Amino acid sequence: MALPTLPPRDPGADHGPDSSADAAVVDVPSLRDIVHTAITHGASDVHIRAGAPPIIRVAGDLWPLDIPPLTEQQAQALVLSAMATDREREEFLHDLECDFAYFAPGIGRFRANAYRSRGGAAMVLRHVKEVIPTFEELGLPRVAHDMALLPSGLVLVCGPTGSGKTTTLAAMIDAVNTERRCHILTIEDPIEFLHANKAATISQRELHTDTKDFSRALRSGMRQDPDVILVGEIRDVDTLRTALQAAETGHLVLATLHARTVVDAVNRVIDIFPVDEQRQARLSIAESLQGVMCQHLVKSADGSGRTLVLEVGVATPRVREAIGDPEKTGRLQDIVSEGQFYGMRTFEQDAVRLVMSGQITIHEAEKVVPRAADLHVALRRAGYREPDQA
């Protein structure tokens, strides 16, 4: 891939709030031009930082735009121009970092994080697709649809940053919106996908704009007659405690958590509680948890984009027993690997399926499994042969 170049400059484009007052930033590239170039090349992310040209991520790889490196003034002008409100600019200047949403008319919406790097302003913009993808387009299994339509309980979508958790949740909310006549409440930071009412009615609340914090919004939300609640991220014990209470009282709660595997997710939610509460927390989690989906994105074998690799745990009686009894929690991984009848799968099992179907390479599969040697053994058992051995 050649270095991406910017389109001809739009003389009417906004070049930042200070560009007209300071001759040093007159040559700041238009942020609109930069994100337009990124989307034209199929990028998922845009990096802005002083000392380097804007950088875009395409199919997992970073590519610099073919323009000179940005100066500190240019980088700061671009960062501030992305912020729509004084509150966002004040938060960035005061706290040195800020999460917000950026909208470029005619191009798209972006989730943004502004921060400081080596004393200068920097920013990463993640493109949020306007059209909510379907389960099939995302490569999500039937069990994801089944979890979305559960009447109550807690469902966790886990994975590292950039693994597509928000997009998966958007597809799940869209399924509920299409198939249930109910009230959906979302609490997000920031709002990324805009949902229009279909069969359901949707209330979307954004952190800092519509509410002060997740925990308060969740407690308040319990009095807003919700049937389904989406929590953008479980960050603390108060949010988790309230989410479990909501799940126990007949609501379906969908939430994200930073965890690598199903076992890691279970341990993380238990460890969030103080030690003296963990015994009771185990029982509450075992009763309320309905499912865990952990995901990673890896390069597709044909180089066309990225492919979703999943680990899925479903709250069968054996899973609930393993969560509730600390002496049996260590068996969770084996229970997941043996639970394919219920829609469960491990990363290794899903990686084998994707390699065998030619969707991803062994090299990419090795990035998501716990042990590469076990992956190769599983592939040989499945009848896989290296191309030169076929």
CATH number at residue 183: 3.40.50.300
State the residue range of the domain holding 274. Answer: 135-345
Is-contact 45 57, C-beta < 8 A? yes
Helix/strand/coil for 202: strand
**Domains in the chain, number:** 2
Residue 146 lies in a domain: yes
Q: Which of 99, 128, 157 is the last residue of a domain?
A: 128
Statement to judge: residues 140 and 96 lie in one domain: no
Statement to judge: residues 112 and 188 lie in one domain: no
Residue 247 lies in a domain: yes
Residue 157 lies in a domain: yes
pLDDT over 80 at 13, yes or no: no
Statement to judge: residues 184 and 231 lie in one domain: yes
Token pair for 21: 């007052």
Statement to judge: residues 191 and 101 lie in one domain: no
Name residue, tokens 């990419």: 364
Please confirm whether the linkage preceding 370 is cis (ω < 30° from 0): no
pLDDT over 80 at 342, yes or no: yes
**pLDDT tens profile 256-274:** 999 999 999 999 999 999 9
Residue 324 lies in a domain: yes
pLDDT score for 304: 82
Statement to judge: residues 192 and 308 lie in one domain: yes
pLDDT over 80 at 1, yes or no: no
Sorting pLDDT into bands at 50, 70 and 90, what band is 247?
Answer: very high
pLDDT score for 131: 86
Statement to judge: residues 242 and 260 lie in one domain: yes
pLDDT score for 19: 39
Q: How many CB atoms within 10 Å of residue 237?
A: 16
What is the percent of the chain with per-residue pLDDT over 70, rounded to a whole number?
A: 92
Sorting pLDDT into bands at 50, 70 and 90, what band is 16?
Answer: very low
pLDDT score for 27: 57
β partners of residue 211: 207
Statement to judge: residues 210 and 229 lie in one domain: yes
- Kindly state the average pLDDT of the residues 167-178: 97
Backbone angles phi, psi at 340, to 5 degrees: -65, -25
**pLDDT tens profile 322-334:** 999 999 999 999 9
Range scoring the smallest mean pLDDT among 5-14, 185-194, 195-204: 5-14
Q: Which of 128, 160, 194 is the last residue of a domain?
A: 128
**pLDDT tens profile 379-390:** 999 999 876 654
Cα dist. 281→107, 264, 271, 377 in Å?
Answer: 45, 16, 9, 38
pLDDT score for 360: 97
The string of DSSP letters for 127-185 reads EE-SSPPPHHHHT--HHHHHHHT-SSEEEEEE-STTSSHHHHHHHHHHHHHHH--SEEE
Statement to judge: residues 177 and 60 lie in one domain: no
Is-contact 382 349, C-beta < 8 A? no
| Helix ranges restricted to H, the chain | 31-40, 72-82, 86-95, 135-138, 142-148, 165-179, 214-221, 237-248, 262-272, 278-288, 317-324, 332-337, 347-356, 362-365, 372-381
Residue 48 lies in a domain: yes
Statement to judge: residues 180 and 253 lie in one domain: yes
Statement to judge: residues 233 and 325 lie in one domain: yes
Sorting pLDDT into bands at 50, 70 and 90, what band is 14?
Answer: very low
pLDDT over 90 at 52, yes or no: yes
Token pair for 284: 């509450």
What is the percent of the chain with per-residue pLDDT over 90, rounded to a whole number?
A: 78
Token pair for 242: 């309230």
Token pair for 113: 């994080």
Residue 363 lies in a domain: no
Q: Which of 101, 128, 155 is the last residue of a domain?
A: 128
Mean pLDDT of the chain: 90
CATH number assigned to the domain comprising residue 116: 3.30.450.90
pLDDT score for 6: 63
Residues contacting residue 59 through CB under 8 Å, at least 6 positions apart: 42, 299, 300, 303, 304, 305, 306
Residue 147 lies in a domain: yes
Residue 368 lies in a domain: no
Statement to judge: residues 167 and 240 lie in one domain: yes
Statement to judge: residues 163 and 304 lie in one domain: yes
**pLDDT tens profile 210-246:** 888 888 899 999 999 999 999 988 989 999 999 999 9
pLDDT score for 101: 87
